[in-house]
Homo-oligomer: A and B are copies of this chain.
Amino acid sequence: MTADDHIVFIVDDDGRIREALGELLESHGMRAIAFESACDYVRADKPDVPACLILDIELPDINGLDLQKQIADRDHPPIVFITGHGDIPSSVRAIKHGAVDFLTKPFSDADLMAAIHAAIAEDREKRSQRAELDMLRQHYLDLTPREREVLPLVVSGLLNKQAAAELGISEVTLQIHRRNVMQKMAAASLADLVRIAERLEIPITHSRRVGGN
């Protein structure tokens, strides 16, 4: 419960720091892997568990902030920056881009551990969110092209009749597509389907007029 369900990555070019951090983390029962450079970190294949990246700003190959930016879109763990010569603009940029904390050496063990715990908790939450979303996206991929046209019409609140007219097909056929969509998306009800579509950011194409019914 304390060593296998999370991991801490350390990227620092100073071997003594890597060692000290590794020992600190071990003494708190946490698993850690240290890298000497950003390149090593990026290339390594990392276990797929809630994690945290302790990142030094001054690295031999690339600036820590630039690394943050590079891996921003991808699927990366929250970052805790540490630095010997930090400046305010860097810290502002780091936090704005989502870093959990920005610590200047020397920092207290307590501060670092607090940041790490916050980061791992954040990653845990983020992962669970993403897992759910991935499942929905997987279901969406199961839809046929036609079903993908039907979905937005249905969650827009159109009647089957109206949606069918929109696609130029018969109401019967649309009902079949609609039914398949519900099944493939594992939606228990229309309300459910609407919420699922919301999370998949399916755009509302037409909204039914109130008086139009």
Contacts and interface: CB of A to CB of B under 8 A. Distances in A.
Interface of A: 86-88, 91-92, 95-96, 101-102, 104, 154-158, 186, 188-192, 194-195, 198, 207-210
24 contacts: A87-B88, A88-B102, A91-B91, A91-B92, A91-B95, A92-B95, A92-B102, A95-B95, A95-B96, A155-B191, A156-B191, A157-B188, A157-B189, A157-B191, A158-B189, A188-B207, A188-B208, A189-B208, A190-B190, A191-B194, A192-B207, A192-B208, A194-B194, A198-B198
A88 B188 CA distance: 51
Most buried by B among A91, A96, A155, A156: A91
A210 B188 contact: yes
As for how many copies of this chain the complex holds, the number is: 2
Contacts of A158: 189
Nearest to A100: B96
Contacts of A208: 188-189, 192
B192 A195 contact: no
A22 to B, nearest CB: 25
Contact of A91 (B88, B189, B194, B195): B88
A104 B209 CA distance: 54
Contact of A192 (B92, B157, B186): B157
A188 B191 CA distance: 14
A31 to B, nearest CB: 27
Contacts of A188: 157, 207-210
Given A157-B191, A189-B208, 9 more contacts: A86-B88, A91-B95, A92-B95, A95-B95, A158-B189, A189-B207, A194-B195, A195-B198, A198-B198
